[in-house]
């Protein structure tokens, strides 16, 4: 697979944003699609026919006879199915909304939300005379 930026094989780079993958085998394509499936931004898929689709990839099927991905194209309200053998390149063109976010940041946010909710419940219980 040709990648416009280098990364370790089998492991996604720190950020995929701005990368373009040109797969040279079914395995390369499957790897690029897995990266795209986990990516939290729009991707641009160039088809062998010359058509270009930009949107959010949300589903894929690899266990049936002919593997495919589904995406919500930015320019169309309906989902679009694209078969693996139609894909020429996959570019990570949209902003990765999860880049720089970490598990610790998420945990801190959830703890804050839980503490706020607990304080509200306690306040309501106290107002009803239960505390």
Contacts of 87 (CB under 8 A, 6+ apart): 23, 29, 33, 45, 46, 47, 48
Please indicate, yes or no, if residue 112 is contained in any of the structural domains: yes
In the chain, % of residues over pLDDT 70? 82
Please indicate, yes or no, if residue 127 is contained in any of the structural domains: yes
Give the domain extent around 76: 2-91
pLDDT digits 0-9 by tens, 70-118? 999 998 899 999 999 999 999 999 887 766 666 677 778 888 899 999 9
Q: Give yes or no: residues 85 and 110 share one domain.
A: no
Q: Give yes or no: residues 65 and 27 share one domain.
A: yes
Number of domains in the chain: 2
Q: Give yes or no: residues 86 and 110 share one domain.
A: no
Please indicate, yes or no, if residue 19 is contained in any of the structural domains: yes
């Amino acid at each position: 697979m040709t990648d416009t930026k280098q990364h370790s094989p089998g492991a996604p780079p720190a950020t995929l944003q701005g990368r373009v993958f040109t797969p040279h085998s079914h395995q390369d394509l499957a790897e690029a699609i897995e990266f795209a499936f986990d990516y939290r931004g729009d991707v641009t898929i160039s088809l062998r026919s010359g058509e270009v689709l930009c949107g959010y990839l949300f589903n894929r099927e690899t266990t049936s006879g002919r593997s495919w991905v589904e995406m919500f194209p930015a320019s169309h309200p309906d989902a679009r199915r694209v078969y693996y053998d139609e894909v020429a390149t996959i570019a990570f063109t949209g902003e990765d909304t999860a880049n720089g976010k970490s598990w610790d940041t998420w945990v801190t946010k959830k703890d804050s939300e839980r503490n706020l909710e607990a304080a509200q419940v306690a306040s309501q219980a106290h107002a009803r005379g239960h505390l």
